[in-house]
Amino acid sequence: MVSWLQVGSFGEADVALRIASTLTLSFFATASAVLAEGDPEHGRDLARTNCARCHGVDGNARSTSFQPVPMLAGQPAVYLLEQMRNYASGKREDTSKGSAMTNFLRDLTDQDLEDLAAYYAGQARY
């Protein structure tokens, strides 16, 4: 048996929590890798022409107190893809100037969204 699973050093609830945590991390790592199958080069091109003004080319946004902008660099692709879909559908409120997020994202294909997610997921956060 794997040493960290031994009930002798942890209670049954601790073991169950560790197993659940391991399975959850495995799921998200796998899901992120699958969703990162997008074309990061095409994602970079889309980011440069449409996203860089607010989020920065590399996704390390330089927000101000007047208009906070989320950092996209290094976020899991699964999260980025879900949020872009939410903006495009109107499920997530768009507080960007002129509803820029919704206006841009609703015109993209699902492949474009996957490409953007793959690109930003692969960028280093500072």
The pLDDT tens digits for 42-79 are 999 999 999 998 899 999 988 766 778 899 999 999 99
Please tell me the pTM assigned to this model: 0.69
DSSP for residue 125: P
For residue range 6-44, list pLDDT tens digits in order. 545 556 666 566 666 666 555 555 444 444 589 999 999
Number of H helices, E strands in the chain: 6, 0
Instruction: Calculate mean pLDDT across residues 95-114.
Output: 93
- The answer to whether 43 and 49 are in contact (CB under 8 A) is no
Q: What is the pLDDT of residue 32?
A: 46
What pLDDT is attached to residue 4? 47
Q: How far, in Å, CA of 101 to CA of 50, rounded? A: 9
pLDDT value at 1 more than 90 = no
Please give the structure tokens belonging to residue 52. Answer: 């860089």
Q: Rounded CA gap, 97 and 5, in Å?
A: 51
**2-11, 57-66, 83-92, 98-107: least confidently modelled range:** 2-11
- Average of per-residue pLDDT values in the chain: 82
Higher pLDDT, 90 or 24: 90
Distance (Å, rounded) from C-alpha 16 to C-alpha 4? Answer: 11
